[in-house]
Amino acid sequence: MTQLTGQRATDDDVVHLTVPADGGYLGVLRTATAGLAARLQFALDEIEDLRIAVDEACAMLLAIATPDAELECRFSVTEDALTVEVTVPTVPGATLPAESSFAWKVLTALTTSASATAGDGRATISLLTRRSTGY
């Protein structure tokens, strides 16, 4: 499989976590994010930025999730980057905040790139963060 980084990831380099779509479970995803970023030897400030970005992306999705939904998180690890894709089933007519919103400004400021897709009753936010070269 080819990731957003253009590099190939093996199945061992992909972690899937599914938690209830409830703010009380976001700590699990923040902890997993920090652990995987540390494995890639991200700097401490990069790890914290990514944790905040994942938290913000999840908050955006929780606002439009169906009742009793599950939040699916897919972490893809490559040599110098971590891609996080968070997906939830959405309520009919749900839309993500506009790219000009404060939430999107946060995501794009804290990651290398951020994108979203919505359709067929699901929404996904993808975050790509590359490790700085000066670790």
Task: Judge contact between 126 and 120, C-beta under 8 A.
Answer: no
Angle, helices 26-39/44-62, rounded to nearest 10 degrees:
150
pLDDT on residue 134: 54
Q: Is residue 7 part of a domain?
A: no
Q: Is residue 2 part of a domain?
A: no
CA dihedral angle for residue 87, residue 65, residue 71, residue 25, rounded to 10 degrees? 140
**pLDDT tens per residue, range 44-67:** 999 999 999 999 999 999 999 999
Q: Is residue 4 part of a domain?
A: no
Q: Which domain holds residue 91?
A: 13-130
Q: Is residue 135 part of a domain?
A: no
How many structural domains does the chain have?
A: 1
Report the chain's terminal Cα–Cα distance, integer Å: 27
Q: Is the pLDDT of residue 133 over 90?
A: no
The Cα–Cα gap between 12 and 75 comes to 11
Assign residue 62 the CATH number of its domain.
3.30.565.10
The share of the chain scoring above pLDDT 70, in percent, equals 89
